[in-house]
Structure 1
Amino acid sequence: MRYWRWASTAAVLLISAKASAQSNVLIYGIIDYGLNFVNNAQTAVPGGGRTGSHQYAMSSSIMQGNRLGFRGTEDLGGGYQAIFVLENGFDIGTGTLGQGGNIFGRQAYVGVSSPYGTITLGRQYDSVVDFIGPITGAVGNGTYSLHGNDINNFGNTYRVNNAIKFTSNTYGGFKFGGLYSFGGVAGSFGTNSVYSAGASYANGPFTAALGYLRARDPNRSFFGNNPNSSATANNLGAINGVQTNPVYGGFDSAAYYQVMGAAFQYGSQGLVLGFDYSHITFGDLNSPSSGTLSLTNPRGYTGTATFNSYNVFTRYAVSPFLWLNGSYDYLVGGAIDGKEGAKYHMFNASVDYFLSKRTDVYFMANYQIASGKDSTGQSAVASYLTITPSNTSHQVVLRVGMRHRF
């Protein structure tokens, strides 16, 4: 009897050990925080109007987005694995949730990986982010280098809800994938839907990528898919008074939003050179499905507004501990209904020093010049993502920060 009792116990232990060896959960994260100086930030004036003032402020998620994540896998046999990711974004300065109050606002999905590729379901990144995002000037230069308030979503400002995504395995350096988000509107399959596709090819020091994204009714399906979003108001932010997103906030009434992009990168012996391009469309403005038109389209635009963005960037490793980064971006477009378009020149530089494999300190310097008429119909002002826009055509942003990864 003792023998059988011992044998049964040993069998249970062996089965448990095997199961634990085949499954794992990884906890990971990034904490990024720093001090900013902005030379000209819009400030409301009592009685109406606005002026520009110097601004000193602390902020999170600039070199990289803050996150706390849980990533799990379970071996199903035959080359198949069950997988999941739950990833939260947060502001370390205030302890508040990121991504509009979502508890797992960065990513939240479950799926299966196989010898043929991976299928996942949930809140996810689109294909532009997956394929083009890793080879842009924002790598090493951070949020402030993103093209016109991240007009093309290369910087992953917006996620996709209720999405099914396929990502292939890599075949001779080639990889591809696609995503579809169901709008969930009865009787109208396409309403509030989002779809994207992309591909990349890597061969030694050379990497190239293509990406496509199209969102129907973007004010609700794409720009406004967080808990604090509105089903009727402008989810791109205020365009009157102290503005939030003058670059494209005035085009929130689009029936569809579309991005076509490409990126190329070459890296060898510590030097990286790259270029990316995107064509952005805000189509069929004055769409009733965008919400209350007096809020989403106060200027009464009709037709389609387009932009083109061009970016060149470089990174250089002075040593394994010290990286120098630089990028230049030119964004042009937004002409509609007799209104001229706008032009934005962005110059970005950073110095990144690694204290260890997981901790670095950095300094950023950014300068922007704007001209023409922006999406609000007013004289274009310099505007950076997460920074209060300038009250004039130019703006300087300086930052000292620290990042820790675990």
Structure 2
Amino acid sequence: MNKWLASPVLLMIGAHAALAQTSVNIYGIADAGLVHESGGVAGSVTKLTSGVGSASRLGFRGAEDLGGGTSAIFTLETGYRIDTGEVDTAGTIFNRQAFVGLKTNAGTLTLGRQYTPWHQALVQVADPFGTGFAGGAKNLFPDWSTNVRTSNTIVYAAPSIAGVSADIAYSAGEQAGSNAAGRQFGASLGYSRGPLNVRLAYNNKNSDVAPAPGVAAVSRTIGTNSLLAANYIFGVARAYFAYGMDKGFNSGPMGNNNNPYGGVKPTPSTDSNEVMVGVAAPLGHGRLLASYTRKNDKTSLDQDAHAWGIGYLYALSKRTDLYAVYGAIVNSNGAGYTVANNSEAGTGNRASNLGIRHTF
């Protein structure tokens, strides 16, 4: 073979051999719906919005086989608004997830921006709506801000053995002069076998501010979130249950902090618990979803609330569904909870969703 021809051929063969050990997948969700909200000072609001059931996203996921049962893995995931084509969080690229790590027979270790174990238990086990739509847990559970995902995070997930799973996460606060200020850690322990799926999760958040030139030190109580999540299959239906406890500063972040009902601005609870029960059952070519949630504020303000939601997801295919969902909240003693969806906090105590979701 001519030497000038042989070199590029050999290079191509070598590149093919290397690529054969690596896989990269592109994935995502395109979700758009009509949302109608009412009951707040904003009045009646109707809009076409993005990510009603599941946040619209585009992601890249890859793995390289390193041999001996070990793989290098990565995920890069960005959120976008399908109604406008914009990035959903200004000034970011991969704001949803961005991590790299190793997967071995002894477990998986990842570093970067990642979901908290507490949020994963809520969305994967506890909520029939998957924390989306107008009936989801976001209405009253504190599934906002760094309770959902954290940057600068190390996560170790143990291999599942006999249905038992566990993971632990640590997020560095990265404030000069303090290893404690701003840090967050959490863990979960689960069991899934047959019709039963149950998980216990914990989140611990330090909201202190370390002193710096021109910045005064701030000391706050630790915010903690504990969650017991479960679901169980009864025949063709699946029943859901969640019990959450939140205590300390910033343990109960609210989705809408803009005084949605006017008057005295609501105060996020620093001592509360939530109970959710729900069901998902096949109906025709789709699924019927329903939930009821109760928030008990144990502070002196006693700002309780309860919420309910009902919805129907009609499957056009394995990847595409149509949805129709309604949710409502009853606030007590000046509580300010709003009916949310997966991507928005909402503006009032009632909302309906009508749209389409496609996964790829």
- TM-score scaled by length of structure 1: 0.75
Which residue, out of 276, 280, 294, partners 2:246? 280
Q: Against the structure 1 CA distance between its residues 138 and 59, is the aligned structure 2 distance closer, same or farther, given a 3 Å change threshold? A: farther
Which residue, out of 254, 258, 263, partners 2:229? 263
Which residue of structure 2 aligns with residue 311 of structure 1?
276
Deviations 1:340-371 (A, max 9, x none): 21111111011000111111111001111111
Secondary structure class of the residue paired with 2:40: strand
TM-superposed deviation, 1:171: 0.7
Which residue of structure 2 aligns with residue 244 of structure 1?
none
1:141–1:350: 8 Å Cα contact kept in structure 2?
Answer: no
Q: Against the structure 1 CA distance between its residues 164 and 98, is the aligned structure 2 distance closer, same or farther, given a 3 Å change threshold? A: same
Unaligned runs of 5+ in 2: 252-263
Which residue of structure 1 aligns with residue 161 of structure 2?
171
Residues of 1 paired with 2:140 and 2:90: CA distance?
17
2:224–2:247: 8 Å Cα contact kept in structure 1?
Answer: yes
Which residue, out of 99, 107, 115, partners 2:105? 115
Residues of 2 paired with 1:389 and 1:191: CA distance?
33
Q: Against the structure 1 CA distance between its residues 10 and 93, is the aligned structure 2 distance closer, same or farther, given a 3 Å change threshold? A: closer
TM-superposed deviation, 1:148: 5.7
Q: Against the structure 1 CA distance between its residues 4 and 115, is the aligned structure 2 distance closer, same or farther, given a 3 Å change threshold? A: farther
1:218–1:257: 8 Å Cα contact kept in structure 2?
Answer: no
1:102-251 → structure 2 map (5 Å cutoff): 102-139=92-129, 142-147=132-137, 149=139, 151-153=141-143, 158-217=148-207
Which residue of structure 2 aligns with residue 35 of structure 1?
34
Residues of 2 paired with 1:86 and 1:353: CA distance?
30
TM-superposed deviation, 1:6: 8.6
Which residue of structure 2 aligns with residue 294 of structure 1?
none
Which residue of structure 1 aligns with residue 82 of structure 2?
92
Which residue, out of 291, 300, 322, partners 1:361? 322
Residues of 2 paired with 1:149 and 1:326: CA distance?
14
TM-superposed deviation, 1:8: 7.4
Secondary structure class of the residue paired with 2:118: helix
Which residue, out of 345, 350, 354, partners 1:396? 350
Residues of 1 paired with 2:144 and 2:181: CA distance?
24
Secondary structure class of the residue paired with 1:41: coil
2:314–2:323: 8 Å Cα contact kept in structure 1?
Answer: yes
The residue type equivalent to 1:326 in the other structure is: A
Secondary structure class of the residue paired with 1:283: coil
Whether 2:338 is the aligned partner of 1:348: answer: no
Residues of 2 paired with 1:155 and 1:270: CA distance?
35
**When the two structures are aligned, how many residues end up with a matched partner?**
337
Residues of 1 paired with 2:316 and 2:134: CA distance?
23
Q: Which moved more, 1:57-66 or 1:275-284?
A: 275-284
Deviations 1:175-212 (A, max 9, x none): 10111111122331111101001111111111000100
TM-superposed deviation, 1:141: 6.9
TM-superposed deviation, 1:256: 2.8
Secondary structure class of the residue paired with 1:34: strand
1:46-85 → structure 2 map (5 Å cutoff): 53-85=43-75
Secondary structure class of the residue paired with 1:130: helix
Residues of 2 paired with 1:141 and 1:181: CA distance?
23
Residues of 1 paired with 2:275 and 2:350: CA distance?
21
- Greater relative contact order (CA < 8 Å, ≥ 6 in sequence): 2
Q: Against the structure 1 CA distance between its residues 54 and 4, is the aligned structure 2 distance closer, same or farther, given a 3 Å change threshold? A: closer
Which residue of structure 2 aligns with residue 246 of structure 1?
none
2:276–2:292: 8 Å Cα contact kept in structure 1?
Answer: yes
Give the RMSD, CA atoms, in angstroms: 3.0
Residues of 2 paired with 1:219 and 1:359: CA distance?
45
Residues of 2 paired with 1:188 and 1:89: CA distance?
32
TM-superposed deviation, 1:14: 4.7
1:23–1:73: 8 Å Cα contact kept in structure 2?
Answer: yes
1:315–1:323: 8 Å Cα contact kept in structure 2?
Answer: yes
Q: Which moved more, 1:275-284 or 1:169-178?
A: 275-284
Q: Against the structure 1 CA distance between its residues 363 and 261, is the aligned structure 2 distance closer, same or farther, given a 3 Å change threshold? A: same
Residues of 2 paired with 1:167 and 1:21: CA distance?
27
The residue type equivalent to 1:311 in the other structure is: M
1:264–1:276: 8 Å Cα contact kept in structure 2?
Answer: yes
Whether 2:320 is the aligned partner of 1:330: answer: no
2:59–2:75: 8 Å Cα contact kept in structure 1?
Answer: yes
Secondary structure class of the residue paired with 2:129: helix
Residues of 2 paired with 1:254 and 1:7: CA distance?
68
Which residue of structure 2 aligns with residue 405 of structure 1?
359
Which residue of structure 2 aligns with residue 18 of structure 1?
17
Residues of 1 paired with 2:294 and 2:101: CA distance?
39
Q: Against the structure 1 CA distance between its residues 107 and 83, is the aligned structure 2 distance closer, same or farther, given a 3 Å change threshold? A: same
Unaligned runs of 5+ in 1: 44-52, 221-230, 233-252, 286-297, 373-378
Residues of 1 paired with 2:235 and 2:306: CA distance?
30
Which residue of structure 1 aligns with residue 258 of structure 2?
none
Which residue of structure 1 aligns with residue 335 of structure 2?
380
Q: Against the structure 1 CA distance between its residues 275 and 18, is the aligned structure 2 distance closer, same or farther, given a 3 Å change threshold? A: same
- TM-score scaled by length of structure 2: 0.84
